Amino acid sequence: MRTSILTQLLLCAVLTAYSQAFTLRSWDDAYALANTAVGQMTLDEKIGIVTGTGQLNANRRCVGDTTPIPRLGIPSFCFNDGPAGMRLTKGVTGFPSGINTASTFSKRLMRARGKAMGEEFRGKGVHVFLGPAMDIMRNPKAGRAWESFGPDPYLTGEASFETITGVQSVGVQACAKHLIANNQEHWRYGLSANVDERTLREVYWAPFERSVEAGVASVMCAYNRLNGTSSCHQAGLLGPNGMLRKAGFKGYVVSDWGATHDSASDNANAGLDMEQPGDNIVIGGGVFGGNLKNAVNNGSVSVSRLNEMVARVLAPWYRLGQDSGYPAVNFDAQKPDGSGPRNEGVVVRSAAHTALVREIAAASSVLLKNNRTATGGGAGAGAGMTVRGLPIALERIKSVAIVGQDAKMPNKACGDLNECNDGTMSIGWGSGSNSLEFIVPPVDAITSFVGTGAIITSSLSNDLDAGVNAARGKDVAFVFANAMSGELGFYDIVVGNQGDRNDLDLWWKGGSLIERVAAVCNNTIVVIHSVGPVYMPWSVHPNITGIIYAGAPGEQTGPGLVDVLSGKVNPSGRLPFSIADNEAAYGTQIVYNSLGFPEIPYTEKLNLDYRYMDAQGVTPRFEFGFGLSYTTFAYSALSTSASGTSRVVKFTVTNTGAIAGTEIAQVYLGYPTAAGEPKRVLRGFEEIVLAAGVSASVSITLGERDMSVWDTPRQAWVRPAGTFSVFVGASIKDVRLTGSF
């Protein structure tokens, strides 16, 4: 029998309150408890801790499970997707994507999102949150890049650090994924990413290094090979002298689902601690199980190595207090519709989580264009003054058009993977997706905002003629268009796209729809929901008075957008990537066609996105870090000073406009020429909230690591000699202050 709604809400409140009450143990204390437990286990019990129970096991309740040891009080450990909130269950929040979280450039919101997701995972009884994803957006078409935080390793590292800190602050284990150079969906099960060591360290490894500094509980090794060797049995990554352990990683390494190959001893001795899901799922897997037991019995895997594997899995469980008072699993991932006796109907949503999702949706909305002007007697308005652009002057608006399929409610019956794109796009598809149970589409939010003060005409398809007819002569036309991507896996081909996008065009003739509407309405506001960069040749059209890049903002997509359209929230989102006019501007390609698993050379080395464009003299349409506000900001008084081995960059930001707003100040570093680095790299950012006319002093510290490069011959981080340049401003191109040291 299911609990009542009141009981569910009370239970949620109790679980949320308790989630902050656990005692964090030191790693030493956690390992002492883990080793004691290992000493009491049989060989079969040890194997059960490090091996998943199987993808098709009817007793499996989570995406990944292990075998419990009731006599020792050790439960089946529950692993569940995903990086944007709980998947495969009801009563949860649809959080914003990773790429939108990056768009906030707000460490505060990054951490708050992690904490809120952790609270929901804990409330459902999940031990391990399979996230954050921290795969660098090497190419803008990469299918799962939206799960992560963009092409910049520094921004990705900071977002990963804050997410992990937030998740683990409530006693839930985070799992950093996917180690390493997992950058496209086509051929992902066996392609070889061929990366030189300096590039690997400075770009693809950097976020994982920050995850270790955050004390991450686990790391997931990827499907792909790195320089010819499978990621899950590469000792240079996972072994005792590998990158993870040398960085101080204390937790365990778990395979991606079916990412193991060859023998049990190959994987275990290389540093893999746990295999999931534990059986063969066509692409790989089934390496441990009985094979690992045999390997231990014949001596090819030592008992001490097996004990180490088990202790590494148990230590985070003890460290995060999951051994005492942790909620039992109360959902059934095999029945995501909420049916069946194992779905106990526990609701972990809260008003606070909904408010946070709405705040992030607004804070991640990037205002790309705003031509706000007042004109007399606009078409359809009759006599009087019409205000064009943003924020919307509702009292001056008498007629509104809402155009585009992306404005309407998506198909909730599409399945848990969201493999449809027939409504507003709040998240991509695949295992990184989340629940659409409570989504509020833009058409509903805008209709509520406009109320009865204006006549609303809508065309919620991408039919070009219908869109034109709806928009003709209106005071304002909101046009919605999108582009989607997702995981390849065993999932459907979505509108001809196999995970990775085929191109950088808007779907469903979205670009043509925008141009046609702009031709008949001189106050056209364009809203783009997308997983990454899209072509915007129409952005200069004089009738397009506003453009908002809204990304993949989660369930509160409509309300968060209206907060910006209405001026309730002054936009502060910034692009976590560049938007260029052709794919060549990015310097990389997705390998679609190959005779067998391809070898992909990372010849661009350190130069991704804005770094490549800087090196090639390419001017993007909208650059990395760009985003407008309804107010203006001035920068002044730059100074740099030494503080031990660090460098402190100080400056002042002033709100020179008429309304309160948030500025995202960014610090870029230029290395001495001989260092061989890109011209400028992001090394700091700060969210600064200012009332009109108010100034704030900002201080950003550059640590020794921030000023160092990887010296491959010396196998060390080295700070190059010479003069460093400091660039402070509002984007990579909008530099307001320069200095050097």
Provide the domain count of the chain: 3
The pTM for the full model equals 0.96
Structural domain of 480: 361-411+440-577
Tell me phi and psi for residue 188, to 5 degrees: -65, -25
Please report the pLDDT score of residue 293 as a whole number: 97
Closest CA to 567 of 551, 552, 548: 548
We report the CATH number of the domain holding residue 55 as 3.20.20.300
> Is 53 among the domain residues?
yes
CA angle 639, 640, 645 (to 5 degrees): 165
> Is 482 among the domain residues?
yes
Q: Are residues 78 and 190 in the same domain?
A: yes
> Is 535 among the domain residues?
yes
The structure tokens 């066509």 sit at 282
Q: Are residues 263 and 301 in the same domain?
A: yes
552-585, pLDDT tens digit by residue?
999 999 999 999 999 999 999 999 999 999 999 9
CA 308 from centre of chain: 32
Q: Using a pLDDT cut of 70, give the percent of the chain over it.
A: 96
Whole-number Å distance between alpha carbons of 158 and 247 = 17
* Six-digit token string for 443: 């058409």
**Which of 11-25, 60-74, 305-319, 416-430 has the lowest average pLDDT?**
11-25
Closest CA to 309 of 275, 261, 286: 275
We report the CATH number of the domain holding residue 696 as 2.60.40.10
Are 501 and 487 in contact, with CB atoms under 8 Å apart? no
Q: Are residues 308 and 365 in the same domain?
A: no
Closest CA to 198 of 585, 604, 574: 604
Q: Are residues 385 and 286 in the same domain?
A: no
- Residues recognised as catalytic: 256
> Is 60 among the domain residues?
yes
37-92, pLDDT tens digit by residue?
999 999 999 999 999 999 889 999 999 999 999 999 999 999 999 899 999 999 99
Among 315, 334, 353, the domain boundary falls at 334
Closest CA to 197 of 180, 211, 183: 180
> Is 8 among the domain residues?
no
> Is 276 among the domain residues?
yes
Q: Are residues 330 and 365 in the same domain?
A: no
Whole-number Å distance between alpha carbons of 455 and 400 = 6
What amino acid occupies position 726?
V
**Which of 20-24, 101-105, 135-139, 271-275 has the lowest average pLDDT?**
20-24
pLDDT at 13 over 60: no
Q: Are residues 291 and 392 in the same domain?
A: no
Q: What DSSP assignment string belongs to 504-552? A: SSPGGGHHHHHHHHHTT-SSEEEEEEESS----GGGG-TTEEEEEE--S
Whole-number Å distance between alpha carbons of 709 and 677 = 8
1 CB-near residues (< 8 Å, 6+ apart): none
| 662: enclosing H helix or E strand | strand 661-670
**Which of 9-23, 214-228, 456-470, 489-503 has the lowest average pLDDT?**
9-23
What is the average pLDDT value for the chain, to the nearest integer? 94
pLDDT interval class at 385 (50, 70, 90): low
Among 271, 299, 334, the domain boundary falls at 334
Q: Are residues 637 and 502 in the same domain?
A: no
Q: Are residues 665 and 707 in the same domain?
A: yes
Q: Quick one: 275 exposed, middle or buried, by C-beta within 10 A (0-12, 13-18, 19+)? A: buried
165-198, pLDDT tens digit by residue?
999 999 999 999 999 999 999 999 999 999 999 9
Q: Are residues 537 and 652 in the same domain?
A: no
Closest CA to 274 of 74, 67, 26, 83: 67
The structure tokens 């804050």 sit at 162
> Is 591 among the domain residues?
no
> Is 622 among the domain residues?
no
Q: Are residues 193 and 318 in the same domain?
A: yes
* 14-30: b (≥16 Cβ within 10 Å) or e: ebbebbeebeebebeeb
Rounded to a whole number of angstroms, the distance between the first and last alpha carbons of the chain is 68
We report the CATH number of the domain holding residue 501 as 3.40.50.1700
Please report the pLDDT score of residue 380 as a whole number: 44
* 686-722: b (≥16 Cβ within 10 Å) or e: bbbebeeeebeebebebeeebbbbbeeeeeeeebbee
Q: Are residues 161 and 307 in the same domain?
A: yes
Whole-number Å distance between alpha carbons of 92 and 116 = 11
Which residue would you say has higher pLDDT here, 11 or 621? 621
Q: Are residues 312 and 375 in the same domain?
A: no
Are 181 and 604 in contact, with CB atoms under 8 Å apart? no
Among 334, 351, 379, the domain boundary falls at 334
Q: Quick one: 190 exposed, middle or buried, by C-beta within 10 A (0-12, 13-18, 19+)? A: middle
Q: What is the 3-state secondary structure (H, E, C) of 663-711?
A: EEEEEEEECCHHHCCCCCEEEEEEEEEECCCCEEEEEEEECCHHHCEEE
CA 573 from centre of chain: 15
